[in-house]
Amino acid sequence: MLRRIAPGASARTAAKQFVDAGSYVFITGRREAELSRAVKEIGSNVTGVQGDVSKLSDLDRLFAQIKRDKGKLDIVFANAGLARYAALGSITEELYNSIFDINVKGSSFTVQKALPLPPDGPSIILNASVVASKGFSSNSVYSTTKAAEAGTNLVQVARISRDLASAHRSRGRRRHPD
Ligand SMILES: NC(=O)c1ccc[n+]([C@@H]2O[C@H](COP(=O)([O-])OP(=O)(O)OC[C@H]3O[C@@H](n4cnc5c(N)ncnc54)[C@H](OP(=O)(O)O)[C@@H]3O)[C@@H](O)[C@H]2O)c1
């Protein structure tokens, strides 16, 4: 199985667990040195691909390499995320854009660009947060991005339901009108 994750603290632990369970893992992140450290720590069955999930050309390069090297992608763990804090009244445009670019744009395009990969589009795990539904005074922007990721999850569930219904129909079964 192949998985793609970012090499932060929690992601490194997850990557190691995936490898221990028999997966080959691709990890990505912007900082080359951190990426190399994570690859070394994970040890085997891992490739680091330097890149920024908010840049569509980097995502294209990442998924092209996965397809070229392994031919398929089974699971995406979209973990890359940024938490920066500012209370209402002190939120800047720069802070807003920096968080949305990674947490919302990055996750959305990671999902969109991963779906065409064989064998049948990977399973997608978006690493959201409890802050999607829990408010703290200083993290309104971060909370909003995590709620958006949760929304993307709902869209995925709707898409999978639609695909399952379509598969049932193509096998001659009818979906209940409800
Ligand atoms: N820590 C918590 O308590 C907590 C709780 C709930 C949910 N989460 C979620 O879990 C995820 C990871 O959190 P964490 O605490 O492990 O964060 P972290 O230690 O800061 O790690 C974040 C990782 O994402 C990578 N990353 C950030 N921006 C990126 C980009 N534009 N393109 C590619 N990689 C990027 C970073 O590498 P580079 O900087 O080198 O790019 C780093 O490896 C986030 O989505 C966060 O919202 C965290």
Mean pLDDT (10-residue bins), the chain, 178 residues? 65 92 97 96 97 98 98 95 94 97 96 92 88 86 92 65 60 45
Would you give the distance in Å from CA 170 to the centre of its chain?
A: 31
- The answer as to whether 176 is a domain residue is no
Q: How far is the CA of 166 from the centre of ligand 1 (A)?
A: 36
- The answer as to whether 134 is a domain residue is yes
Query: Tell me, what's the pLDDT at 55?
Result: 98
CATH of the domain at 153: 3.40.50.720
Counting from 1 in the atom list of ligand 1, the atom nearest the Cα of 11 is: 16
- The answer as to whether 175 is a domain residue is no
Report residues whose beta carbon is within 6 angstroms of any ligand 1 atom: 6-11, 28-31, 34, 52-54, 79-83, 102, 106, 127, 129
Q: How far is the CA of 65 from the centre of ligand 1 (A)?
A: 22
Give the domain extent around 30.
2-170
Nearest CA to ligand 1 atom 21: 8
- The answer as to whether 141 is a domain residue is yes
- The answer as to whether 42 is a domain residue is yes
Domain count for the chain: 1
- The answer as to whether 9 is a domain residue is yes
Of 30, 58, 103, the residue with max ligand 1 atoms within 8 A of its CB, to mutate for a pocket test, comes to: 30
Counting from 1 in the atom list of ligand 1, the atom nearest the Cα of 78 is: 45
pTM (two decimals): 0.87
- The answer as to whether 178 is a domain residue is no
Query: Tell me, what's the pLDDT at 152?
Result: 72
Query: Tell me, what's the pLDDT at 75?
Result: 94
Counting from 1 in the atom list of ligand 1, the atom nearest the Cα of 31 is: 40
Q: How far is the CA of 79 from the centre of ligand 1 (A)?
A: 6
Nearest CA to ligand 1 atom 4: 129
**What is the sign, positive or negative, of the torsion defined by CA atoms of 57, 105, 96, 36?**
negative
142 given a catalytic annotation:
yes
